[in-house]
Structure 1
Amino acid sequence: MATQFELIRQQQKDSWNKISSGWKKWDGMTMDFLKPMGDEIIRVLQPSGGDIVLDIAAGTGEPGLTIAQMLNGGKVYITDIAEKMVEISRENALRRGIDNVEALTCDVSELPFPDNTFDAISCRFGFMFFPDMELAAREMNRVLKPGGRMATSVWNVSEKNFWVTAIMGSINKNIQMPSPVPGAPGMFRCAADGFMTDLLLKTGFKNISETEIYGKLDCGNAEGYWNFMNEVAGPVAAALSNVDNDIKVKIKAEVIHSIDQKYPEGSTMVDSNAFIIYAEK
């Protein structure tokens, strides 16, 4: 019988594969949105020279592809649990002429690499979705070389992430959502003060530091925000997939109104906030 973690892992894989076409369609806007967090990960990792780097939960390839371009004789392994996302990362590498990367589908809880392989690990917005975060952190620690660096980003509290709550608030108000299992994957699962530091200390990391980063999701207008979130945000797509059309129309009207109220000038730059956590083995 499959364990709870295995069931969640399969759900995560299916969900990301299902919305991979949306990520491909909106890749430019999504990468612009997430760039401040990726830039900070790169800044603290300082990849260079012949570094061997692992990018976990890389989705369509960032920040691994940017890191690869910074290396001279080094290599980046780009990984994700969803094979369709990995395919997009390969396409992006080919399109950009980046040849010092290898993209492969794998699970963070069972990394297919020997101990002490990597100089650095990046993981942009992966931890919140890992079924067993402690196991994931231990696997990262295992494959890092002694003294190796790891940097990850997680979303801050919901109050600082209107880009999520603008739509999920209306969904939760209009749809009877099942109560989440304690510890289940979720956008703000890692937002509590000290949560990531405690997790990393527990799993063998040291010299841990956190940086708060602000961002903006540039959707153009409220309609653009609605379309983007429907095609890129897994929880949104899942919640609205089997909803009666009248309810969906009502939710959309509420979301458009909420966005227009907060950004009355018509230029929709939706607020986001995240932590970048750096640690060493």
Structure 2
Amino acid sequence: MTSTEAFERMERDGWQDPGIAKGYAEGFDLATRQAAEVLAETVTPDPGLPALDLCTGHGVVGAELLKRGAVVTALDFSPAMLELARRTAPGATFVEGDVMAMTFLDQSFDAVSIGFGVPHFPDPEKGLREVARVLKPGGRLAFSIWRGKGSNGAFGWLFEAIGRLGDPAVTLPDGPDAHMFADKEIAEPLLMACGFTNITMLELPSRVFVSSPEKLFDAFDKGAVRAASLLGGQPEDRRSAIRAELSRRVQDEGIPENGGLLVPVPSVVVSAMRA
């Protein structure tokens, strides 16, 4: 077994579950749409030129690229996600495929976007080299990353609660750090090694909407594969303690909105140019 085989199996099995796909699309919809606008604005080629939306998920970035006149190809390994994306971004060409071994010809696209998908690359460097291969020289790449441990928001609260209240025996398979590219000291040299230049990072004050405080736990438990794996393995008393802690944080720091609450879930958009 390779060092990431169990990680890859967890990712593929998780994201191909229609329930997880739907849970992500609903639970993280507002934040992903906020990031999608920035991603599309960052990479949009001139109207009529080809753009590739990788890890398209439920299609929100692809939809924004279409609004700006791009000819959009959207790729994902999850049939469940592609089914949702076809409803969100009609007009795109959809491909079920693997970012790590794409079948597109070299220098096929003027722009590449990746909405919160890079953490799902089992080998981030290999994946980004594939992105560089299919991107034309001078073409733009932009991808979004959630802020993780230590951040003041949903992911930071989750990891703090699991670390303090969860069972330490419940762990994830070996795989890349889901949030490492939010750190410029990691992102910049790796992107340069993969053939990119003009690297910038933009902080986004993104938010999710929850109808009640306990719904933040549900968003992670039903719509995020790694989080669902960590939470699903917890004994019931520890799950309840983590749920209560997340609910408390939402009550303390959420912003009332339309009968629910807006919860901070900070993210970063990384952009670069193909050298």
TM-score range, shorter chain: 0.7 to 0.9
Partner of 2:247: 256
Q: 1:26 deviation in Å?
A: 5.9
Q: Distance in 2 between matches of 1:23 and 1:181?
A: 21
Partner of 1:159: 150
Percent identical among aligned pairs is 25
Q: 1:11 deviation in Å?
A: 2.1
Partner of 1:224: 215
| Residues 1:6 and 1:179: Cα distance change in structure 2 (over 3 Å) | closer
Partner of 1:11: 10
Matched to 1:89, the amino acid is: A
Q: 1:36 deviation in Å?
A: 2.3
Partner of 2:63: 65
Partner of 2:39: 41
Aligned residue-pair number: 271
Partner of residue 176 from structure 1, selected from 168, 171, 176: 168
SS state of the match for residue 37, structure 2? helix
Partner of 1:110: 101
RMSD: 2.4
Alignment of 1:11-160 (within 5 A): 11-18=10-17, 20-24=18-22, 27-28=25-26, 30-71=28-69, 74-93=70-89, 98-99=90-91, 101-160=92-151
After superposition, what is the alpha-carbon deviation per residue over 1:97-119, rounded to whole angstroms, capped at 9, x for unaligned? x22x1112211110110101011
Q: Distance in 2 between matches of 1:92 and 1:76?
A: 13
Q: Distance in 1 between matches of 2:158 and 2:147?
A: 17
After superposition, what is the alpha-carbon deviation per residue over 1:127-176, rounded to whole angstroms, capped at 9, x for unaligned? 12211111111100100112211111122353334211323332332212
Q: Distance in 2 between matches of 1:110 and 1:134?
A: 13
SS state of the match for residue 200, structure 2? strand
Q: TM-score, normalised by structure 1?
A: 0.86
SS state of the match for residue 4, structure 1? coil
Matched to 1:143, the amino acid is: V
Q: 1:180 deviation in Å?
A: 5.9
Matched to 1:174, the amino acid is: G
After superposition, what is the alpha-carbon deviation per residue over 1:46-90, rounded to whole angstroms, capped at 9, x for unaligned? 33311111111111112012212321xx52111112222122212
SS state of the match for residue 4, structure 2? helix
Conserved in 1, the CA contact under 8 Å of 2:180 and 2:186? no
After superposition, what is the alpha-carbon deviation per residue over 1:229-261, rounded to whole angstroms, capped at 9, x for unaligned? 221122232123243333322332232233323
Q: 1:203 deviation in Å?
A: 0.6
Q: Distance in 2 between matches of 1:26 and 1:7?
A: 22
Q: Distance in 1 between matches of 2:24 and 2:6?
A: 28
SS state of the match for residue 110, structure 2? strand
Q: Distance in 1 between matches of 2:180 and 2:172?
A: 11
Conserved in 2, the CA contact under 8 Å of 1:157 and 1:192? no
Partner of residue 269 from structure 2, selected from 260, 271, 276: 276
Q: Name stretches of at least 5 consecutive residues in structure 1 with no aligned partner.
A: none
Q: Distance in 1 between matches of 2:236 and 2:78?
A: 29
